[in-house]
Amino acid sequence: VINESQRQQLESVSYSSRYALGLFYEAGTGIAVPWAARYVSDNPCIRFISIDNKKRNIESAEAGPSVVVHTTVSFGSEHLDSEPAEVQQLILGHLQRIVPSLPEPSSIKCQRWRYSQVTRAMPDCPGQMILHTQPLLICGGDGFTRSNFDGCIESAMSLAEAVKPHL
């Protein structure tokens, strides 16, 4: 479906890898920190922590709080093929040192993102690529621009412009 040039361009895009850890608590559990989200700049494992319900301003007596932890790019790359249970324990150890007051969660979910954020986008950042015209097949996304909200909007606008002549 795609030609050699397109294949090479698509293969030139690269992504970082990282992990996210979700800690889930029973209703009524208190998370005693003075923030809803925290960027961590001085830890080799953890980059971002949020008390998700507080961050989203949806605190409720019926639903328990959750804590979401995102790892650094370097930690994600280093542990990309490690066992999830092993990675979970490593992240929890770092989290305990950063936020020692966290209560014991009722459940934990460790999620690996093999393709997290674009580190090298499509050359010349076109926003999209037409792979085939009959039938129309177009791909887009942040791999064609950059990994942020503006990059996603830019790709969406480029995709819409590419579709227009085919309507």
Cis peptide before 135 (omega within 30 of 0): yes
**In the chain, domain spans:** 16-118, 121-166
Please give the mean pLDDT across all residues of the chain.
92
At residue 159, what is the residue type? Answer: L
Q: How confident is the model at residue 64 (pLDDT cuts 50, 70, 90)?
A: confident
Spell out where the chain has E strands: 14-15, 18-24, 37-39, 46-51, 66-71, 107-113, 118-120, 128-133, 136-140
Query: DSSP string covering 77-123, please?
Result: HHTTTS-HHHHHHHHHHHHHHH-TTPPPPSEEEEEEESS-SEEEPST
- Measured between alpha carbons, how far is residue 77 from residues 16, 50, 113, 121 in Å? 7, 22, 10, 18
16-118 fold: Polyamine Oxidase; Chain A, domain 2 (3.90.660)
pLDDT band at 10 (very low <50, low <70, confident <90, very high): very high
Q: Which pLDDT does position 37 carry in this prediction?
A: 94
Higher-scoring residue by pLDDT: 54, 99: 99
